[in-house]
Structure 1
Amino acid sequence: MTRPTFAYIDIEALRANALWLKQHCLGSKLMCVVKADAYGHDLKLIAPALSNIADGFAVAHCTEGLELRAINPTAPILVLEGTFDAAELNAAYQHDLTVALTNTWQVRDYLARPLDQRPTVWVKVDTGMHRLGLSETELNALCRDNRLPQDTVLFTHFSDADTDAEKTALQLARLTRLGERHKLMMSAANSPACLMHPNTHLDWVRPGYSLYGGSPLAHIEDNLRPVMSVYTRIHSIRSLPVGECVGYGSTWCAERASKIATLPIGYADGYPRSIKSGTKVWLHNQFAPVVGRVSMDLLTIDVTDIPAAKAGDLVEVWGQHMTLHALANHNELSGYEIMARIPKRLPRSSDWLL
């Protein structure tokens, strides 16, 4: 690697987060959500590090499940969206993937298979999110003839666990009523529910964002440590007189004689183009503001107040000091989205590369 831009993945922080969540949700099994390339952290780094902590893993679709199965031959793997056709259902059975049943045609395909060729299933019930899940009537029909294995889990997904305790309680009540009626294990808690609503923990919890040190709440959870820190080094520095502008659209112009540093990172590396001028990076143990528009490969920062700054100096774009939580909140963005949209172009490593 010659371009000095990469994401450091702190495996120790990841494991500490997972162990803390497991202890915090004591009595529940821990389903670590590793969809979307482990929320942009690199599945090949994340899954092995969690193999002796997680009770299972969750992915979005079968392609992700098969990728994870190649990494971990034995762990329970839940496919949250279920399968999209009968052939995929067969692949799930062949590779021991647990599939979600989220609608009536998935149920139909599942029941059409011979009893001894049906994969393990979790059944999703729609308690108020209204994206995926069986209705109460559909669930009752499925369970009427004892057509589900004993290890089936009934699960749902909270729509407002971080903001609406009343709706969360209503969704939980709908789930537990049905789970108790049909004598099924249950799962409901996502990251905010893990942190805020202990009564939702049930048999399985399914943290994702919090596992990586992201805070799904308005405040930062002190017990969670950022797993990803993104670094680069100053490419070059130039002096600008008053009135000169920086970047596309000339959106920022110097109001004083300024020193501008260019960094080799941009929106093609996952640093959002919509970042506002004034967003901070960390350099020489202090913050420096981003100025001008983020380009595809480059961004610019004002280092006028950091006279020691020079080409080659290390910059934390986000991580331990400029947290992803702060970056997202300052720019009215979602930390979830920033994580998930980090492209393969940005190298990730659990070893220090710079």
Structure 2
Amino acid sequence: MPEEAAGGILRIDLTALASNWRSLRDRAGGAETAAVVKANAYGTGIEEAVPALAAAGCRTFFVAHPGEALRARNAAPRTTVYVLNGLLPGSAGFYAAHDVRPVLGSWPEIEEWAAFCRSQGRRLEAAIHVDTGMNRLGLTVGEGLALAARPELKDFTPALLMSHFVGAEERDNPLNARQIETFAAVRNALPGIPASLANSSGIFLPQKPHFDLVRPGYALYGGNPTPGAENPMRAVVGLEGRIVQLRWVETGDTVGYNGRWIAGERRRIATVSVGYADGYPRSASAPGRSGEALATGMALVGGHPCPFAGTVSMDLLAVDVTGAPEGALARGEPVTLIGGPLTVDEVGRRAGTIGYEILTGLGDRYRRVYTGSAR
């Protein structure tokens, strides 16, 4: 798709991605720095992001599903790939065939993996997940403490012991200290197994719970791992929509489905070729009257902040561009939907969600333009 024919253009800076990984590596205090590349590398593209991270020095990747593991394995053949969502019944052969590692989080998973390894006569690698507070996946703490006595550990190689923070982005959350202490106790009960607890925000905690390996995800892609403080990461993603039509609406006219936005005076509206089918959230819609201070969707048009007008629809959204520079207002001109002050965190806030959802929802209809490299 040539850029001139694309309704939306997604720009991904691979140099910034690699720089973010190096910055997190330098902060991790000697722990290995992995990369979480699930959800299509947070919307940036596994096939492009993984080689850039590998070229920067990353040697371990985490995904959520086996299909993502195949893509990561093909993109960086000489690296380690873990599948976070566990071992589904009957899937052990897949992992062995493609040299990827399951993250085992229950006794049935451990027993099935151990039985498969016995049947193959090989001690294959896997990670073990112990739940220290999320109550989502993982062995209980008691099960983790008792794991050393289990005979199944003789049948496979536990290559990593891991858990996951509940609220590391909240620096003073008392759960952080409790989880660090609990995880350290489980680690002490299983000596010799490399340990991993810290996600993006965990890397920045004052306790420095880096252990042997850290697993950043969101921060790699420009999200702020330290909410409330200045973002230490470089922006990776930029999104532009294209103006497909301009019109004036008169006082009292409505814009969009169900007439939820009303012009309080004569206003100029730009219709932009991006909608919720492209992953831009409908929750960024702007009901009300023009001129009201609404914390909803916003675009930059010629560098000028312009609020959305009405409901984000499947393929289109409307922007009130009355105050934008005239030179930026023409059919085909770009409007910035992510970029500059409209960071992924700010876009998420304005849509009543989080930057994670903005990134991972980036659709496949955009023209993707990759710039930079791992250098």
TM-score (norm 1): 0.94
Pairs within 5 Å for 1:247-286: 247-277=256-286, 278=294, 279-286=297-304
Q: 1:196 to 1:140 in 2, by over 3 A?
A: closer
- Aligned 8 A contact 2:224 2:231 in 1: no
In the alignment, does 2:315 pair up with 1:310? Answer: no
- Look up the match of 1:169: 177
- Look up the match of 1:206: 215
- The alpha carbon displacement at 1:45 in A equals 1.2
- Aligned 8 A contact 2:114 2:156 in 1: no
Separation in 2, partners of 1:83, 1:150: 15
- Aligned 8 A contact 2:250 2:263 in 1: yes
**Deviation larger for 35-44 or 133-142:** 133-142
Identity among equivalent positions (%) equals 33
User: Equivalent residue of 2:30, what SS?
Assistant: coil
Runs of 4+ in 1 over 4 A off after TM superposition: 148-151
User: Equivalent residue of 2:283, what SS?
Assistant: coil
- The alpha carbon displacement at 1:346 in A equals 2.6
- The alpha carbon displacement at 1:4 in A equals 3.2
Separation in 2, partners of 1:221, 1:99: 36
- The alpha carbon displacement at 1:321 in A equals 3.1
In the alignment, does 2:318 pair up with 1:300? Answer: yes
Q: Deviations over 1:124-146 (max 9, x none)?
A: 11111111111233234432145
- The equivalent position to 1:239 in structure 2, one of 238, 248, 262, is 248
Q: Deviations over 1:266-325 (max 9, x none)?
A: 110111011142422111122111111101111111111124122222211112331111
For this pair of structures, how many residues does the alignment match? Answer: 351
Q: Deviations over 1:19-43 (max 9, x none)?
A: 1111111211111000010111111
User: Equivalent residue of 1:235, what SS?
Assistant: strand
Q: What letter corresponds to residue 325 of structure 1 in structure 2?
A: D
In the alignment, does 2:106 pair up with 1:106? Answer: no
**Deviation larger for 316-325 or 7-16:** 316-325
In the alignment, does 2:343 pair up with 1:338? Answer: no
- The alpha carbon displacement at 1:55 in A equals 2.6
- Look up the match of 1:62: 66
Q: 1:316 to 1:249 in 2, by over 3 A?
A: same
- Look up the match of 2:235: 226
Separation in 2, partners of 1:243, 1:136: 62
Q: What letter corresponds to residue 173 of structure 1 in structure 2?
A: E
- Look up the match of 2:24: 21
Q: What letter corresponds to residue 127 of structure 2 in structure 1?
A: W
Separation in 2, partners of 1:346, 1:185: 40
- Aligned 8 A contact 1:194 1:200 in 2: yes
Q: What letter corresponds to residue 62 of structure 2 in structure 1?
A: A
Separation in 1, partners of 2:370, 2:245: 27
- The alpha carbon displacement at 1:196 in A equals 2.6
Q: 1:55 to 1:197 in 2, by over 3 A?
A: farther
- Look up the match of 2:369: 349
- Aligned 8 A contact 2:15 2:371 in 1: no
- Look up the match of 1:94: 97
User: Equivalent residue of 1:274, what SS?
Assistant: helix
Supply the RMSD in Å over aligned alpha carbons.
1.9
- Aligned 8 A contact 2:247 2:270 in 1: yes
- Aligned 8 A contact 1:265 1:297 in 2: yes
Which runs of 5 or more residues in structure 2 are unaligned? Answer: 287-293
Separation in 2, partners of 1:119, 1:265: 46
- The alpha carbon displacement at 1:233 in A equals 1.9
Which runs of 5 or more residues in structure 1 are unaligned? Answer: none
Separation in 2, partners of 1:307, 1:79: 49
Separation in 2, partners of 1:307, 1:347: 26
**Deviation larger for 278-287 or 138-147:** 138-147
- Look up the match of 1:324: 344
Q: What letter corresponds to residue 189 of structure 1 in structure 2?
A: A
User: Equivalent residue of 2:268, what SS?
Assistant: strand
Q: Deviations over 1:326-349 (max 9, x none)?
A: 111123211111211222223323
- Aligned 8 A contact 2:130 2:163 in 1: yes
- Look up the match of 2:130: 125
User: Equivalent residue of 1:287, what SS?
Assistant: strand
